[in-house]
Amino acid sequence: MTDIATRIDGAAGRITLTRPGALNALTYDMAMAIDRALVDWVEDDAVQLVILEAEGEKAFCAGGDVAEIYRRGIAGDHDYARTFWRDEYRMNARIARFAKPVVSFLHGFVMGGGVGIGCHGSHRIVCDSTRIAMPECAIGLVPDVGGSLLLSRAPGRLGEFLGLTGHRMDAGDAIHCGFADSYVPADRWEDLKTALCRGETDAIDAAAAPAPTSGLAAQDWIDRTFDGTLPEIIAGTTEDRAAKALASGSPLSMACTLEMLRRLRAMEAGIEQALDLEFAFTWRALGQSDFLEGVRAALIDKDRTPQWRHTPDGVTKTEVEAMLAPLGEDALVWEDRA
């Protein structure tokens, strides 16, 4: 496979995304290659840690490759998307629960599916080029791949802000919001990787520099504004970029995102509970949400004029609960749960 390389390099298992021309967008085959490598390495005593990295200067991974999901979905095939998300989410959980250190080098764009592989490990490294975001509401989906869990754990109501607007976090923001751990200038990365391949995880602290100040740390208006209902949030947001994002996102997706984050925060959820809730939405997404229309408008026709099913004040609590209802026999099955 030319889109991803997995190999053992000294004490490290190395996973390299090698699709820079597509911003390392994650395909189903790439996701499954990551999963197979993790399964193989967890019991391999020669592998002391895992490195996740990507080729190219622009992106670690700019998201999941939804073109095939769209093509099959408009032809009436919903099973492909459900299989993609089901297996991808299991891989995301495997990273989060991996028994050895997982070190991710998050340069450039890290969005959607890139968050799912890069932001659940034990050591998440960012640099000056890092831009992390969960922009799913703009295409009629919800923050998934475990991103809802990270958003629910962000300080104050930053999770709601990030989830609804798709705001791009820089290195300082990502560390402040819990999507990353260490700021290491990019010119130190190769030496750090060499040390990691010798099994020296303490080299991360030695290479790290003080994190840049987060521009989100003092945004008190976010806590005030994003603590309400969707119509209240939209009415109360006056910051230009946030207001534009709220005006252009799918109302159903934004309403479901709010409900998801508040449920997860209340239950002090773990990764599996977050993925369960996300899968409830994505399992229904092709037939009951704005997803296909959102992908069409943003990525296929690129007219940027999606025709959403609802207005912001037209999404009912019943519709939100229906999108997030348990899936019964279609629910995700985890290795430790029948």
pLDDT bracket for residue 335 (50, 70, 90): confident
Neighbours of 338 (CB within 10 A): 4
Fold of 1-338: 2-enoyl-CoA Hydratase; Chain A, domain 1 (3.90.226)
Predicted confidence (pLDDT) per residue in 235-276, tens digit:
999 999 999 999 999 999 999 999 999 999 999 999 999 999
Checking if the pLDDT of 218 tops 90, the result is no
What is the mean predicted confidence (pLDDT) over 199-212? 96
pLDDT in tens, 146-187: 999 999 999 999 999 999 999 999 999 999 999 999 999 999
Burial class (CB in 10 A: 0-12, 13-18, 19+), 99: exposed
Distance, CA of 177 to CA of 227 (rounded, Å): 17
**Domain parsing of the chain, residue ranges:** 1-338
Q: Tell me the residue ranges of DSSP E strands in 57-176.
A: 59-61, 102-106, 109-111, 123-126, 131-133
pLDDT at 65: 85
Whole-angstrom distance, CA of residue 309 vs CA of residue 311: 7
Q: What is the pTM of this model?
A: 0.96
Check whether 87 has a pLDDT greater than 60: yes
